[in-house]
Amino acid sequence: MPVDGKEAGPASQTILVVGGGIAGISAALEAAETGHDVVLLEKGPSLGGRVSKLNRYFPKLCHPTCGLEINYQRIRKNPRLKVLTMCEPTNVAGSRGAFTVTVKRHPRFVNEKCTSCGDCAAATETMVPNPFNYGLDKVKAAYLPNEHAMPMRYVIAPEAIAEGEGDKLKAACKYGAVEPEQQEETFDLNVGAIIWATGWQPYDPNNLDVYSYSHSPDIITNVEMERLAAHDGPTQGKIVRPSNGEPAKKVALIQCAGSRDNNHLAYCSRICCLGSLKHAAYVREQYADAEVDIYYIDIRAHDKLESFYQKVKADPQVRFVKSKPGHIRVGEDGRPFIHGERTIDREVYDEPYDLIVLATGMQPSAVAGYTPQVGLVKDDYGFVVPKELEDNEGIFSCGVAAGPLDVSLSVQSATAAALKAVQAVRQSA
Amino acid sequence: MTAPLPNPGKKYDLDFARWVYDNVNGGDKMALCMQCGVCSGSCPIGTNMDHGPRKLFMMIRAGMQEAVMTSNTPANCTSCYRCVVRCPRSVPVTYILQDLLAKQAELGYRAKDSNENIAFAKSFWWSARAFGRTDERLVTAKYYWSFGPAEFWKRSMENLKIALGFIKKGRMHIGMPHSVKDKKGLKAILDKAREIESRG
Amino acid sequence: MTETATPTKPKKPGVYVCKGCGIGEAVDADALANVAKSEFRIQTTATQDACCSDEGVAAIKADVDAGTVDGVVVAACSHRVMADRFRFNGTPVVRANLREHVAWSQPPGEEDTEMLAADQVRMAITQVQLTLPPLPSQVQEYSRTLLVLGGGITGMTAAREAVKAGHPVILVEKTDQLGGWANKWAGRMPYRPPYRDVQDSGIAKLVEAVKADKDIDVKLDTRVVKTAGQPGAFTVTLSHGGQESVVNVGAVVVATGFRPYDATKLGHLGYGASPDIVTGVELEAMLKAGGELKRKSDGKPVKHIAFVQCAGSRDPDHLPYCSSVCCGVSIKQALQITKADAKASAYIVYEELRTPGTAEEFYRQAQEAGVIFMKGKATKVDAGAMQVSYTDELLGTEVPLAGLDMIVLATGMVPNSTDPDVPVVEPEKSEAQLKGDINPFSAIPVAGYKPGGAEGPTPPAMPHLDRIPEGGPILNLQYRQGPHIPVLADGFSDSHYICFPYETRRTGIYTAGPVRRPMDMAESAEDAAGAVMKAIQAIQGSKMGVSLHPRVGDLSFPKVGHEKCTKCRRCTVECPFGAIDEDETGRPIINPARCRRCGTCMGACPVQTITFDNYNPQMVNAMIEANEIPDEFSEKPRILVLACENDAYPALDMAGINREKWSPYVRTIPVRCLGSVTLQWVSTALQKGYDGIMLMGCKSGDDYQCHFVKGSAIAKERMSKVGETLKSLALEKERVTMAEVSIADSHRVPKVLNEFAELIGGLDPNPMKGF
Amino acid sequence: MSDNKKVRMTYYPGCSSQGSARHLDESLRAVLPEMGVEIDDIADWNCCGASVGHIGGGQLPNLSLTGRNLAKARERGTQDVITGCAACYLNTHGGNEKIKADVKKKAQVNEALAAGDLKYDGDLKVRHVCEVLVNDVGVDKIKDRVKNPLTGLKVAGYVGCQTVRPFAQTQAGGEYDSYDDPNFLDDFTEACGATAVPFQNKTSCCGGSVAVMSPDRTLHLIKNILEEAKEAGADVISTPCPLCQTNVEMYQDQINAKYGTDYKIPVVFYSQLMAVAFGMDGDKDAALQRNTNASDKLDKLAKRGG
C-alpha cells in the first residue's frame, strides 16, 4: 500500500481519514471493510479520541471502551487499514483521485518494537500532567496512553527528553524501542479521497470567568467529570471534591456553560444536556444521600433520549432548575456558591455545593488546527463542511468536525462520509 | 414622540410585544431573549424588583401591558450592565430598562419606585441643559426639592455631613455653577434634537 | 478468491514460548516448552527473548515457510495485541496468554504460577490442534442490486448514492409518485452555513435526478409482498396493480419514513372542532400553495397564529418520545409567516425548545423576526374563542392566548416500521417482534435503592409498549422468526447500539430516515448514505462468504450435523439475527450470509451438533480437559472461567496491564459470546474435577451491552437450569455462577475472581477429581 | 509603546472632574505625561448625559451631548479621545459607535449639531484611560516609572461596573480585560509595588446613580464591598471610577449607623497610587488631601514638596 505515496499513480485509490476518534475510526473501518485501502491519521499516541476519555455513554450508561474494543478488533483484523499515530496533516493539495497530503509526525520517542512492558516507565523520574485525565493527575513521562490504548504502545513525553532522560530510557528498554533521537518529521501521502474527522475540543472554561473555574478545584468541566467518574480516572471512579477528597454529595451541573451564548459558542452543543443527565446518574449511583441540581435553559433530549430525561427526572434527589446562573463565587469555607434566578418561581438563590460541573460545549478542533482550503469550507463556528453537496470533490467531513453531534450521529455521519469517499475513489478509478 | 399603546386598558394584548419591539430603545433585540434568567440572576438589586428583567420581558411577550407599565423593575436598574455583558443573546437589557422607565413616565404611568428616578433624571437634565455640565450640588438640591420642602430638609440634613466633608476637601464648590462657555449653542443643539425626536 | 486445497487441522503445530515482558522472570520458559514436547509430542518448540521482535517473528515464519509447522502456538502476550505480527499466511495461530494472565498478574517463580502457565500452553496447543482453517460459504448467485423501499427523500437519496457507488437500484414506492412528504413541504430548515434561512426542499430536482438515472428502476404503485433469502440473494416479491413479480437483490434499504401522529386523537387540543385548528403538516401544504395565508373558515388573513408544540409527543398518553423535528418545523413555518407579513404575530407554545446544534441560529432568526416563544404545556384549545390555554411556567400564571386566527398543532412522527395499509399478520408473532426488548424507562441505578423498596426513584410508567405503530409487515420476511424488522420500544426500527447505529437484527436489511429515528431532511439524506454503505458491505460480504459486523471478515459459519439433530428448534428460536430457518420437517436451515457468527445456536444445541470449523463444543471441551487438575489433597482448587472475548476477557487483560493480581487457580477460556456457551462445557468441567465455574459476560436485560443482542441474557436463562446437573452430581449450587463484567471492570474483575476463589476454597474439593 | 515615545490624546475630563472626583482628574494630569501620554482637553466640553440623561432629556438630545463633545474634540484632529470617568466613557464611546453605525442617527445628530454650528463625522476613537494604560503604555512602563514603591500597602482593587463594560451598547466585544474578572487594576497595584489582595467583589455594583438618589435601596451593596475589603486586610480600596469612589467612600458613616459596623476604609483612585509611587507630590499630584477617609499608611509613603 502506498503509505509513503511514492508509488501511487495519478488516480490513487487510497482513502485518507484524518482523526482517530470515533468518527474517524468508523469512517476508516467502513471504507476498509468495503475493500478499500485506508490510512487513518491520529495526532495523539492512541486512537479513541474524545470518547475513549468518557466514562460511559448516554442513555445506556454503557462504556465507550466496549464499542472501541469491537472497532479495535476490526482494525486488528483488517490489513487494508493502516493506522498512523502522532501524525497530523499540515497541507492538502490536489483534487479527487490525486490529493497530496503533507503530514507532520510528532516524535513518540518509542518505535514499533515496543512491547508495552513498562520498563521505560519504571526508569523515568519525570512526571507530567496526565493528558488522558485532562491533567487532573500526573503520570510518568514514559507512559501507556491508557489501559485500552490502541496501539498498545508506550509514548515518551518530550519533557523526559528535555530532562535528559533519553539515554537512560533507551538503556532501560530491552527491545530497542526507545528512540530519544526522534525528531519531528514531514512526509507526503498521495490519496484519492479524504475524510476530515478532526473532532472537537472542550470549550475553554477559563473564558467563562463568571463561573470562576480557575478559582476553585471544586469547579470542574463535564469532560473532567467523566474522568472523575471513570474507573481508570484520577480517583478510580470515586466522585469526590478535588479540593479535599471528600465525597461530593451536593453537586450542581450547569448547562450551556459556553454553548448557546453569543459571547462564547453561539450554537447548541447538543450533547451536554444528556451528558449532565448522565452525570446526575453517576452521582446518584454512588451516594444514596446525594443531591444533584441541574441548571438549564432547555433540556434538549431529542428523540428516544427523552426517556433518559424522564427517568433521571423521576429521581426526587435530582432537581431541575430552569436558570442560567449569574455567577459562581467561592465561599469562606472554600465551597463554591452559585448565584442566580430560578426562573420558574423567580427566587434568587445563592447555593453552596461540594462540586460544580460546568457543561462546557464542544468546539470544533478546526478552530485551532489546519483546515484544507480545497473542497471544504469552515463555517462561522469552525465546523467544516464540503464546499458543494452535489459534486463529489473527494473530500468530506464527518463527526463533530462537521457539526455538534452525539456518538450515534457521529458514526452515522462517518458511515455516510465513508460511502462518499468510496464513491470518489471508484469514480476516479 | 412614542407611539401610544396599541390597546390601552387591555390586560393581555397580543400587540403589545410588537409595540415594545418598535418603540423601546433596544426593544427589537428583546425578541432574542430566551428566558434563561441570567439577567435577573446577575442584578445587584434585583431583589428590589417586582419582576426582574427576565420576567418583565416574558410579560411583554404575553401582552401584559398594564403590569409592565407599572412595574418597578426599570426604576431599580443601577446601570451596572452586568446583565448586558452576560446575556447569551446580546440583549441590551440596561438600555431597554432605562428606556422603559422613560416610556412609563412619558405615557403617564406611575410605576412604583420610579418617582425618585424620574425626579433625579429631570434635575440632572436641568443642569445639563442649563449649564452644559452637571453641578452635583445643584442637581442634588433640585432633586431633594422636587419632593417638597419637608423632604428637602430631611434629606439635606441626612447628607449634610457628606456635603460638608466634600466642601472641606474641595470636592464640592461654593459659588457659581461650572458651565460651558457656549451655553447658547448647546441649548440650540439640545432643543433642535428634541424637536427632531418629536417629529419621529 | 483463489482455490485452495481442502484445509486440515494442524498435525504438527510449533510452540514458541516468549521470555519477554517479564514472562521469563515469572515462569520457566524451557519447562513450558517441555510440557509441549513431553505431553503433546510437539516436535518444534522454541523459547524466544521476544516472540514479537523481528527475529522472533522471522524464526516462526521460517518454520512455517519450511513446512516444519502447520500451526502456531505463540505463548506470549494476549491475542488482543501484536495481532499483525503473528500472521502467517492463513496458518492457524493460537496465543497462550502468559503475559497479562500470568506474568503480570501472578507472583513470579511460584509453583502455582508455573502450573497456570503450563495450563495456558496446554489449552493453546489443544485449541490449535482442533482448529480447522475455515473456508468461506459463498452465496452462489449473488446480486449487486439494492432494493430501496420508499420513494421519499431518504429512499431517493439512497438510490442515488448506491448508483454513485456502482450498484444498481430497484426503488419501490407504494404511491403513484416519487417525493414522499417532501412534495408537500414549503421549504426546509437550513442545513448549510450560515444556517439562517429557510431553504428550498430540493425535492423536485431530486425526483428528476432519480427519474433520469438509468441505473434506478423506479417502481411506482408497487408494494413488497414478501421477502426471502439472505444478503446477496434476497428474493423479493413485488405487487403492482395486482400483478406479482419477483426480483433478486443483494441487500435492502428500508426508507419507509413516517406518518404524522393521528391528530384526531388530540381532541383536547381542539383538532376537528374548527377548520382553523390545523396540524403542522396541513399548514405546510397551505404555505406550499403560496399567496397570503388565509383562514380556512372565512378566508380572512392570518394575523395572529399560535403553534402548540409537543402535540402528542413527549406525552405518556400519546407518543412517549420527542419527535425531534417539530420545534424546527414550527420555527420554519412561523418564520415564513412573519417574513411574508411583518405585521403578523406568531406564538410558539413550547415546553422545551429543542433546536440542537447549529439549528440554534435558526431559532434566533425566528426570534429576530419577532416570533414569540412561550414556555408551558398547552392543556386545552378552545375552538370558539380560538384560544390556547396554558400555564406559562415563566410567569407562573395562566396566559389566555385568545382571539387567534389560526392554531397549529405540531404533531409528531410515527415511524412506518409497519405498513398501516397492510393487515396485521400473525398478530401474536408480530406483537412479540414489535414489542421491543428493552424498557427505556427503567430506573437509573441509585445507591442504596432496591427495586420495590420505599426509597429511590420510581421509574415513569411505560404506557407505550402496546403502542407499536399499527399495521402489517413492510417486507413480510419469510423468516422463522417472523415477518417484521424488529423495533425498539418506541416503535422505531433503530439499532440498540450507540456506537453501531446501523446494526439491525436482520442482516443485509438497513433502515434509514424517520423509520429509524425522528429526523429531518438533511439527516435523512445522510442516513440514507450510511445505510447504503452498510448494504454494499452486506453484498460484498455475501460474495466473499465472510461475516459482517461485529466479527467482520470471519469465514467460519455454523454447520449442523443433521444426523444428530433432534429438530428441537432451539437454535432457530434463539438466533438473535433470524439467520436460521426450518425446512418443512423442522430441520434447521442456516443462512450463512444472515449469520453473525456469535455461536448462540451452538450454545443452544442440546446435542452439540452445531459447530464452527474453528470454534465448537468439542474444541472447548478438549481445552477444558487438557488442563491438569491437581488431586483433592493438594489444596489447589481449579476454577474455570468462560469469559466473553469482547468485554470480560479484555477487562482481564487490562487488569493484567495494571498489574492487578488474582487467584492463580483460575483457568480462563475466551468465548465468542456467552450465548455460545453450551451447558455441556459446564458438566465436562465438573466431571473433570474443576471446583468452580464462572461465566463472565456483559450486562443483560434493559440497556444490554451484548454485541450479539442477547447472548448474556440467553446464558443467564440456560444457567438457571444448571442446578439440576449439579444436583445430579451431588454438588453445591454455588460452584457454578455467572458474573456480569463490563469492559471497564479492570479494577473490579480481580476482586470478582478472588471472591469466587475464596468461596470455592471454602467448599470441599470437587469429589469428581481423578475420576 | 517604546520607552520614551510620547503620544498626544484629547482628554475629556467630565463633570466630576470639577467636583467629587477632582482627585482623579488632578492625579491623572500628573501621571499621564509621566507615562508618555500628553493630553489636550476637549475645548468647552459638556456633560456626557450619564445614565439618566436620556430619561430626563430624551434619547436624541442625550446623544447630541456626545455629538457636541466629539465635534469639539475633532477640532483637535483625529487623535484618540480619552477619559478617566466610567460613565463619560460609556456614554461617549457608546454614542460614538451609535453615530458610526446608524446612518439615521448620525444624520439626526448632525442636524442638531448644525444648530450650534458643529458637525461630527464619526471618525474618532473614544478610549478609557485604563485601556490606554494597558494596551499602549503597558504595565512594564508603569513599573519603570516607580521610584517610591508602595511596599507593604495592601490594596483591594475595586474595578466597579462600567469601566470594564464599555461596549455594552455596541456589542463590539471587550478590548482590554474581562467583564467579570478583570486583572488590570491589580496589575497597576502590583506595578506600584503595593500588594493586591484577593477581592471577589471587584466588579460588584456600588449602586451607581440609584445609590445617589436613593441610598436605602443600595447601602447593602456597598457594605458587601467594604466587608470583603476589610476581611481581606486591605489598607485602601483602589478604584478607577468616580462614582464608585464617591459612593463607597461617602456612605460609610450611614452604613455604620445602619449595620452597626465601624468602617473607615480609604477609597482612592489608582492614579493617586501611581502618583505616590512615581514619587510625585502627595497633595499637588496625588491629591491625597481630597479623600475624606485618609490612609495613614499611604500618607506616610507619599513624598511632599519637591
Q: Which of B105, B149, B143 is nearest to B124 (CA)?
A: B143
CB-CB neighbours of A171 under 10 Å: 12
Bridge partners of C48?
A: C18
Question: How many other C-beta atoms lie within 10 A of the C-beta of residue B51?
Answer: 20
* Percent of chain A whose pLDDT exceeds 90: 92
pLDDT over 90 at B199, yes or no: no
pLDDT of residue C438: 66
Among partner residues C356, C530, C536, which is closest to A412 by beta-carbon distance?
Answer: C530
Domain-embedded: residue A113: no
Q: Whole-angstrom Cα distance, residue C42 to residue C44?
A: 6
pLDDT at C349: 97
The answer to whether the Cβ–Cβ distance between C394 and B58 falls below 8 Å is yes
N-terminal to C-terminal alpha carbon distance within chain C: 49
A179-205 pLDDT, tens digit per residue, is 999 999 999 999 999 999 999 999 999
Domain co-membership, A312 together with A375: no
Put simply, whether D116 touches B (Cβ < 8 Å) is yes
Is A348–B38 a contact, with Cβ atoms under 8 angstroms apart?
no
Chain A CB within 8 Å of residue B90 CB: yes
Same domain for D110 and D165, yes or no, is: no
Q: What is the pLDDT of residue C60?
A: 98
Distances from the Cα of C90 to the Cα of A82, C8, C71, D286, angstroms? 20, 12, 9, 89
For chain C, the 3-state helix, strand and coil shares in percent, each to the nearest 5, are 30, 20, 50
pLDDT score at D306: 53
Chain B neighbors of A324, CB-CB under 8 A: 36-38, 41, 88
Burial of C176 (0-12, 13-18, 19+ CB in 10 A): exposed
Q: How many CB atoms lie within 10 A of CB A386?
A: 21
- Asked if C370 has any chain B CB less than 8 Å from its own CB, the reply is yes
CB B12 within 8 A of CB D173: no
| Residues of chain A contacting C82 with CB distance shorter than 8 Å | 115
End-to-end C-alpha distance for chain D, whole angstroms: 29
Which residue's entry shows cell 493630553? D39
Below-50 pLDDT ranges, chain C: 1-3, 451-452, 464
B172 to chain C, any CB pair closer than 8 A? The answer is no
Interface contact A77-C83, CB threshold 8 A: yes
Q: Looking at the structure, tell me whether residues A165 and A229 fall in a common domain.
A: no
Separation of alpha carbons B193 and D111, rounded Å: 8
What total of structural domains would you count in chain D?
2
Q: Give the amino acid at D146.
A: V
Instruction: Give CA–CA dist C415/A303, Å, rounded.
Output: 12
Chains B and A touch (3+ CB pairs under 8 A): yes
Burial class, B104, CB count within 10 angstroms (exposed 0-12 / middle 13-18 / buried 19+): buried
CB of D167 within 8 Å of a chain A CB? The answer is no
Amino acid at C557: F
The string of pLDDT tens digits covering residues A19-53 is: 999 999 999 999 999 999 999 999 999 999 999 99
Q: Which residues pair with C230 in a beta bridge?
A: C233
Does B197 contact D210 at a Cβ distance shorter than 8 Å?
no
C-alpha closest to that of C615 among C600, C639, C599, C631? C599
Residue of A336, A346, A354 whose CA lies nearest to A283: A354
Using an 8 Å CB-CB cutoff, list chain C residues near A324.
Answer: none
Output the pLDDT for position C538. Answer: 96
Shortest CB distance from B81 goes to which of D116, D168, D217?
Answer: D168
Q: What's the rounded Cα separation, in Å, for the pair A78 and A71?
A: 11
> Do D105 and D206 sit in the same domain of this protein?
no
Q: Which residue in C526, C548, C619 sits closest to C255, CA to CA?
A: C526
Calpha distance A56→A281 (Å, rounded):
11
Selected residues 488-527 of chain C with any CB under 8 Å from a CB in chain A? 488, 490, 492, 494, 496-502, 517-519, 523, 526-527
Nearest to C509 by CA among C583, C455, C412, C577: C577
* Displacement of CA D99 from its chain's centroid (Å): 23
Report the residue of chain B nearest D50, measured CA to CA. B124
CA distance C479 to chain B (A): 52
Closest of D241, D134, D229 to residue D184, by C-alpha: D134
Which residues 49-108 of A have a C-beta within 8 angstroms of C?
Answer: 51, 55-57, 59-74, 76-79
User: What does the mean pLDDT of chain D come to?
Assistant: 93
Candidate from A262, A264, A346 with C-beta closest to B52 = A346
Mutate to test the interface with A, among C360, C487, C548, C652 (most CBs of A within 10 A): C360
Residue A10 — very low, low, confident or very high, per pLDDT cuts 50/70/90? low
CATH number for domain C12-129, candidates 3.30.420, 3.40.50, 1.10.150, 1.10.3470: 3.40.50
Domain containing A306 — which CATH number? 3.50.50.60
D297: in domain: no
CB contact under 8 A, A210 and D200: no
Residues D245 and D235: their CA atoms lie apart, in Å, by 15
Residues D122 and D165 in one domain: no
Domain boundary assignment for chain C: 12-129, 146-257+416-455+468-544, 260-412, 616-771
Residues C374, B21: C-beta atoms closer than 8 Å: no
pLDDT digits (tens, 9 = 90+) for A306-335: 999 998 999 999 999 999 999 999 998 899
- How large a percentage of chain C has pLDDT more than 70? 95
Q: How far B118 CA sits from the closest chain D CA (Å)?
A: 7
Out of A122-131, C475-484, D3-12, D171-180, the most confident range is A122-131
**How much is the average pLDDT of D235-255?**
96
Quick one: what percent of chain D has pLDDT higher than 70?
95
D291 in Cβ contact with D246 (< 8 Å): no
Q: Which chains touch A (3 or more CB pairs under 8 A)?
A: B, C, D
- State the pLDDT confidence band at A94, using cuts at 50, 70 and 90: very high
| Minimal CA separation from C373 to chain B, in Å | 8
Task: Please write down the HEC assignment for all residues of chain A.
Answer: CCCCCCCCCCCCCCEEEECCCHHHHHHHHHHHCCCCCEEEECCCCCCCHHHHHCCCECCCCECHHHHHHHHHHHHHHCCCEEEECCEEEEEEEEECCEEEEEEEECCCCECCCCCCCCHHHHHCCCEEECHHHCCCCEEECEECCCCCCCCCCCEECHHHHHCCCHHHHHHHCCCCCECCCCCCEEEEEEECEEEECCCEEECCHHHCHHHCHHHCCCEEEHHHHHHHHCCCCCCCCCCECCCCCCECCEEEEEEEECCCCCCCCCCCCCCHHHHHHHHHHHHHHHCCCCEEEEEECCCCCCHHHHHHHHHHHCCCCEEEEECCCCEEEECCCCCEEEEEEECCCCEEEEEECCEEEEEECEEEHHHCCCCCCCCEEECCCCCEEECCCCCCCCEEECHHHCCCCCHHHHHHHHHHHHHHHHHHHHHCC
CATH number of the domain located at residue range(s) C260-412 in this protein:
3.50.50.60
Chain B closest-CA separation from residue A261 CA (Å) = 4
Instruction: Check whether residue A196 and residue A84 sit in a common domain.
Output: yes
Q: A6 CB contacts (<8 Å, ≥6 apart)?
A: none
Domain range enclosing A214: 204-360
Nearest CB among A260, A298, A326 relative to B86 is that of A326
The whole-number average pLDDT for the span D32-46 is: 96
Instruction: Return the CA Rg of chain A.
Output: 23
Q: What is the pLDDT of residue C715?
A: 94
The class (CATH top level) of C146-257+416-455+468-544 is alpha beta
Whole-angstrom distance, CA of residue C28 vs CA of residue C37: 14
Range of the domain at D78: 7-128
CATH fold for domain C616-771: Rossmann fold (3.40.50)
Q: How far is B29 from chain C (nearest CA, A)?
A: 7
Residues from chain B contacting residue C343 (CB–CB below 8 Å): 18
Chains touching D by CB (3 or more pairs below 8 Å): A, B
DSSP state of C342: T
The answer as to whether D136 is a domain residue is no
Instruction: Tell me if D200 and A329 make a contact (CB, 8 A cut-off).
Output: yes
Could you report the per-residue pLDDT of B142-162, keeping only the tens digit for each? 999 999 999 999 999 999 999
Whether the CA torsion A320, A321, A324, A329 is positive or negative: it is negative
How far, in Å, CA of D108 to CA of D110, rounded?
A: 5
Residue C13's region, left for phi above 0, alpha for psi from -120 to 50, else beta, is: beta
pLDDT in tens, D91-131: 999 999 999 999 999 999 999 999 999 999 999 999 999 99
Q: Would you state the pLDDT for residue C110?
A: 97
Would you say residue A5 has pLDDT above 50?
A: no
Q: How many CB atoms lie within 10 A of CB C273?
A: 13
Contacts of D3 (CB under 8 A, 6+ apart): D141, D144
**Cut 0.90: pTM above it:** yes
pLDDT at C641: 98
Cβ contacts of A327 on chain D, cutoff 8 Å: 180
Q: Is D181 on the interface with A (CB under 8 A)?
A: yes
Q: Residue D288: inside a domain, yes or no?
A: no
How much is the pLDDT for C223? 96
pLDDT for position B84: 93
Task: Mark whether A190 and A334 lie in a shared domain.
Answer: no
Q: Which residues in chain C have their CB less than 8 angstroms from residue B59's CB? A: 395
For cell 387567534, the residue is C404
Interface test with D, best of B42, B78, B181 (most D CBs within 10 A): B78
Q: Collapsing DSSP states into helix, strand and coil, what is residue C193?
A: coil
Rounded average pLDDT over B67-88: 94
* Count of domains forming chain A: 3
Q: Which three cell numbers stand for residue C637?
A: 482448587
Q: How far apart are the first and last CA of chain B?
A: 6
A246 and A353: one domain? yes
Chain A residues with a Cβ under 8 Å from any Cβ in chain D: 209-210, 212, 327, 329-330
Interface test with D, best of A204, A207, A208, A209 (most D CBs within 10 A): A209
3-state secondary structure of D84: coil
Residue D290 lies in a domain: no
- pLDDT given for residue B58 in this prediction: 95
Window 98-127 of B, Cβ < 8 Å to D: 98-99, 101-102, 105, 113, 116-127
Cβ of D200 and A209 within 8 Å?
no
Residues ≥6 apart with Cβ < 8 Å to C121 = C15, C17, C32, C35, C36, C73, C75, C96, C98
Q: Do domains C146-257+416-455+468-544 and C260-412 have the same CATH topology?
A: yes
D2, part of any domain = no
- Whether A6 shows a pLDDT value over 80: the answer reads no
Of D46, D39, D51, D57, the residue nearest D18 (C-alpha) = D46
> C468 to each of C336, C416, C472, how far by Cα in Å?
34, 10, 11
pLDDT value for C434 = 62
C607 at interface of B, judged by CB pairs closer than 8 A: no
Which residue in C503, C419, C543 sits closest to C149, CA to CA? C419
The answer to whether B10 contacts chain C (CB < 8 Å) is: no
Which one-letter DSSP state was computed for residue C215? Answer: T
In a domain, residue D295? The reply is: no
The DSSP 8-state label assigned to residue B112 in this structure reads T
Confidence check: pLDDT of A7 > 50: no
Q: What is the pLDDT of residue A267?
A: 97
Q: Same domain, yes or no, for D210 and D268? A: yes
Q: How far is C527 from chain A (nearest CA, A)?
A: 6
Half-sphere exposure of C697 (CA within 13 A, CB side): 30
Quick one: which H or E segment has residue D297? helix D296-301
